[in-house]
Chain A
């Protein structure tokens, strides 16, 4: 079956703009979680959505937000972009909520902020 799909794969924005990233989970998976990966900070957990509700979250500012639709597809939005937001953004899906069990990751969206 198809894996986790993230779009776009690459994008370039300027400071102050906003960006929306999309994640389509594996069919039947109701949990989608998001992560930021940078050379300096490594991998960091952003938040998790399950059945259209944010269930868990990490320690990121409110500029980072997300939502999940009834078909389990999820979007992540970053407003008022800063240079430090340049990163690989990964999403993962799971059949179980609460970040438990096996997570299936997409290949990521690479964001560059100029």
Chain B
């Protein structure tokens, strides 16, 4: 069964880049990687997703290794408001159905 592995917590200084890793060594070639974050007591918020190529949007960059076994979410200039739990998610096909498999999340603490 597909699985994602993330470090439980990370710290980052305000203004510095936050690099959040995720291991998804079991995904297949057509399974997407998504990143969402959840700020306490709110629903998860979409950040970015990708398949093979690196992706960038106004919030973050996603770097996927060539073998697709891992990826890194980069917040280029972290702010205090980026403190949240970040989830790496893979969309997989299982017994004919699509489903999302969530990692356990990385709690990012951005400090002044």
Interface residues of A (CB under 8 A from B): 4, 33, 42-45, 48, 55-59, 90, 92, 98-100, 102-108
Closest residue to A6 on the B side, CB-wise?
Answer: B43
Chain A contacts for B87, CB-based, 8 A: 43
Q: How many residues of B contact A (CB 8 A)?
A: 20
Name the interface residues of B24-56: CB closer than 8 Å to any CB of A: 32, 36, 41-46, 49
CB atoms of A44 and B43 under 8 A apart:
no
Task: Report the Cα distance A44→B91, complex, angstroms.
Answer: 12
Residues of B contacting A: mostly: strand
CB atoms of B100 and A99 under 8 A apart:
yes
Chain B contacts for A33, CB-based, 8 A: 100
Task: Report the Cα distance A98→B99, complex, angstroms.
Answer: 8
CB atoms of B105 and A105 under 8 A apart:
no
Chain A contacts for B98, CB-based, 8 A: 48, 55-56, 98-99
Task: Report the Cα distance A58→B32, complex, angstroms.
Answer: 17
Closest residue to B44 on the A side, CB-wise?
Answer: A105
CB atoms of B102 and A103 under 8 A apart:
no
Among B46, B99, B103, which residue has its beta carbon within 8 angstroms of that of A45?
B99
A58-B99, A99-B99 as given contacts; A42 in contact with B105, CB under 8 Å: yes
Chain B contacts for A108, CB-based, 8 A: 43
CB atoms of B97 and A57 under 8 A apart:
yes
Tell me how far the C-beta of A50 lies from the nearest C-beta in chain B, rounded to whole angstroms. 11
